[in-house]
Structure 1
């Protein structure tokens, strides 16, 4: 091996855990540090003691503490294909979607049609674009997720302690989320709270499909009509749980699917709305309200309804009244 090859060879690394890294499981920390290394290889290193914390073996479930010294063995990392640069229009769109920011947290008005994170068919999601826009930020992580076609309030933590605190608040139902959706038909006056368990299935194609099932996880939604009509009703929805596709599946199961929903919706209703200009799912994360961690300040953030949805509402009301 020549000197150039030696300089490129992987070496043992000693990493001191900082405050914002504390609390992570060692396996998750290694996955973030060794991108491109198979998970099986990382877990094998842990089992064999090749990874050490403070010179001692640890289990994969060990949670790191501030000041821990982590020995990372010399593993060769496969270099992923170089991604195409982020489109300037996408950088501009995300950069101008900020609703709120302090030293712990930022809240974006996520545009519809953009995934919150990258995946097998998505090179850049909101979080990757945000990290490109703020390369100096030491920590940016999604607190929760929105479906690709859903717009509205999306929280991003700027510190690990904030991330953990907000996720805990979500589990304890201390973060109140309001959504706006346009559903088929006139919503029944006697239905306000929907408690229907949901079961998630992953198809061979990788597509997620959710259905109401007695063997599913508990799911509770509150539906409140805002603009009731015979053909379509604008609903305000609040959630007690945050299951995948919860609003869409609950509404569809009751015979009132969301407008523009290609997965669970009604083709005839979708066609009627397309003629009025709807080109997306009519679901918008309208508002977030909660008391900030370690403080008494009540935060209430609203995301304006996108113009393309407001236009459809106007056209819908005009069509119904005439």
Structure 2
């Protein structure tokens, strides 16, 4: 992306490259004009202050390689700049990259690290990775993992790959397999749960997901790997990818995830803490994706040491 600034007027002219090809103009502006209220961004679009190749465009216009975008001078509110990632965190992220090519990478996300900033988190994995690789022109999350979930997380290095991988996920062609420890004895013969999920927001702002007939279709597949006294180790495959899907479907089956504070079994969690569990037992252990050229990539991440140690203690 090439940028030219007219110093006397404060007008910016940006030439679009492949990293923004296909992106909506409103999303492009929201990403560039951080700190500017969303209403202000849409107002300058409606008034025609933003131009593409000299012409007015609507918010849904999709940018193309070579487009020249005129961005008017906009006052950006001063904000406290969050501290960057520590050298230790930067090193940890680089060490946890389990796959990388020219178009995307997969990082073995540590538990406890949010995938992005917001909701009281100033710095997430994606912001930390961008700070670690300041010369990378494009780094975007392909999907998300809950903060306490560890394992395989895809990051696109090109917008074309971002679109490809998200299209693959929407079509159900990306295999995502997790290992989960649930409380109690998993019902025999229960290998598939199809229960619609609805996302609700409490007055506190907390998100809670519940099984609801009016919710979105949600399907999860389960396979018992091992039965312990008071707990069951499961291999879980997602057919759909709803917020908190595995957690809520396990709760729906009467066997919530060990260490899950939101959909918890309080007594089970207490017993698991005594055995050494310090977080929710959910690990994204495998991703299988097809690249644009048809190559199939199978990426695996072994169970982290803290979760493996817990299983040893349960034996």
The residue aligned with 1:190 is 189
Q: 1:167 to 1:10 in 2, by over 3 A?
A: farther
State the shift of 1:89 in Å. 2.3
State the shift of 1:10 in Å. 6.4
The residue aligned with 1:63 is 62
Distance between the aligned counterparts of 2:81 and 2:179, measured in 1? Answer: 39
CA deviation vs aligned residue, 1:103-134 (integer Å, no higher than 9, x gap):
01100000000000011311211111111111
The residue aligned with 2:230 is 231
State the shift of 1:253 in Å. 1.2
Distance between the aligned counterparts of 1:124 and 1:10, measured in 2? Answer: 34
State the shift of 1:24 in Å. 0.6
Distance between the aligned counterparts of 2:9 and 2:283, measured in 1? Answer: 47
State the shift of 1:86 in Å. 2.0
Structure 1 runs, 4 residues or longer, greater than 3 Å off: none
State the shift of 1:267 in Å. 0.4
Q: Secondary structure at the residue paired with 1:236?
A: strand
Distance between the aligned counterparts of 2:53 and 2:262, measured in 1? Answer: 51
The residue aligned with 2:3 is none
Determine if contact 2:84/2:123 at 8 Å carries over to the other structure. Answer: no
State the shift of 1:82 in Å. 2.1
Structure 1 residue ranges without an equivalent (≥5): 1-5, 318-322
Distance between the aligned counterparts of 2:114 and 2:245, measured in 1? Answer: 17
1:1-322 map, 5 Å: 11-293=10-292, 295-317=293-315
Distance between the aligned counterparts of 1:71 and 1:290, measured in 2? Answer: 38
CA deviation vs aligned residue, 1:276-317 (integer Å, no higher than 9, x gap):
000000000010012212x23211111111000000001012
Distance between the aligned counterparts of 1:285 and 1:169, measured in 2? Answer: 18
RMSD over aligned CA atoms reads 1.3
Distance between the aligned counterparts of 2:264 and 2:252, measured in 1? Answer: 10
Determine if contact 1:115/1:125 at 8 Å carries over to the other structure. Answer: yes
Structure 2 residue ranges without an equivalent (≥5): 1-5
Distance between the aligned counterparts of 1:12 and 1:85, measured in 2? Answer: 29
Q: 1:10 to 1:41 in 2, by over 3 A?
A: farther
CA deviation vs aligned residue, 1:185-229 (integer Å, no higher than 9, x gap):
221222101000000011222211000000110000001000023
Distance between the aligned counterparts of 1:316 and 1:18, measured in 2? Answer: 54
Distance between the aligned counterparts of 2:32 and 2:9, measured in 1? Answer: 13
State the shift of 1:272 in Å. 0.7
Q: Secondary structure at the residue paired with 1:241?
A: coil
Distance between the aligned counterparts of 2:153 and 2:255, measured in 1? Answer: 26
The residue aligned with 1:3 is none
Query: Which range moved further: 231-240 or 201-210?
Result: 201-210
State the shift of 1:52 in Å. 0.9
Equivalences, count: 310
Q: Secondary structure at the residue paired with 1:275?
A: helix
CA deviation vs aligned residue, 1:242-269 (integer Å, no higher than 9, x gap):
0000000000111101000000010000
Distance between the aligned counterparts of 2:230 and 2:242, measured in 1? Answer: 28
Determine if contact 2:179/2:285 at 8 Å carries over to the other structure. Answer: yes
Q: Secondary structure at the residue paired with 2:66?
A: coil
